[in-house]
Amino acid sequence: MRIPLSSPDITESEIQAVGRVLRTPRLSLGPKLEEFEEAVAAYTGAEHAVAVNSGTSGLHLCIRALRIGPGDEVILPSLTFVAAANAVCYERAVPVFVDVEAKTLNLDPAKIEAAITPRTRAILVVHTFGCPADLSRILGIARQHRLRVIEDACEALGAEHAGRKVGPLGNAGVFAFYPNKQITTGEGGMIVTQDAGVATVARALRNQGRSQAGEWLEHGELGYNYRLSEINCALGVEQMKRVESILEKREAVAREYHRRLNGNSDLELPPLEVPGGRISWFVYVVRLGARFRQQQRDWIWREMASHGIGCGRYFAPIHWQPIYRDLAGPRPDLANTEWSAVRSLALPFFNKLQPAEIDEVCCTLQELIRVVPPDMVHPH
């Protein structure tokens, strides 16, 4: 693509930092791991941070560390990446999907209590596209019903709710550092928590169940190889040094998109701000208006690609995935989820996206909206 959907922002200093690690004998579980964990903990206000090899691994270890297991129900949105539900199912727990708010696309607090049953153990909150969820209300519901809260902040490093960074506000939270994220380690994730017990269990589980006090060949838990290498952590340390400037650049791109597209009655734009919070811009997702259907959205997506412009269809609801037709628990009404899913289009979004590229994306999109065939049928 001439204008890709995403592009990592790597500087020469970061390349040199990775090179320095390669000149040492320590490529795993070394000082860069500790430095990266300390940097993320300090930035987010967490007491503990545990680096892992992906956001998915982090979510899985949160489920395990909070002792959520077979038959337990976990409430979460369906309008998100499939990894959130997969992490629940890894432990043979049951995902229960609840609808999202129409504006923010975050889990709707007003819909949660109706989904709670005697088997409910946790709420998995996703900060969708970097927009902070309404944690005050969700944490209040969790306290009332004695539920755990896991924050899927994989798309939301730096986002804030009520003046505090998201991630460690529930029982545990997870960030991810895939190349399309705000900062990247290539592959990688980070668990953050205020609970020393959760952190201790997560550290053991990521390293084949070894406790920090035990021998290398002594395994006290059924663990995994979820370690993050020193190479990845060196990149993460350098990226964290400029995380705020990265977030500012991404916000500037979002505001430019808003300026160019605002006023088009066929588009619903994401909110630029949330009351008392801060959006950490992961992607810029627009929704087509009510007269459009999925096939028309997909036609626009294909035509944008033919012009060399990468776009994404975020997200296909998890409850529409073939594997979840049988694995998921009860499904309340998911009207906002399904309405948004067939009309959403993620536009190119990355730190170094240029004004001329934004202009081309916006002009091409609006022209395609104008000429899209009107007689396509919605397949759902």
The catalytic residues are 181
3 state DSSP class of 166: coil
Strands 94-98 and 73-77: parallel
Whole-number Cα distances in Å, 184 to 55, 159, 235: 12, 16, 8
Half-sphere exposure of 30 (CA within 13 A, CB side): 15
Phi-psi region of 67 (alpha: psi -120 to 50; beta: other; left: phi over 0): left
* Residue type for position 205: L
Q: How far apart are CA 181 and CA 155, in angstroms?
A: 7
| Tokens read off for 201 | 């269990």
Is the CB of residue 148 less than 8 Å from the CB of residue 122?
Answer: yes
- Rg of the Cα trace of the chain? 21
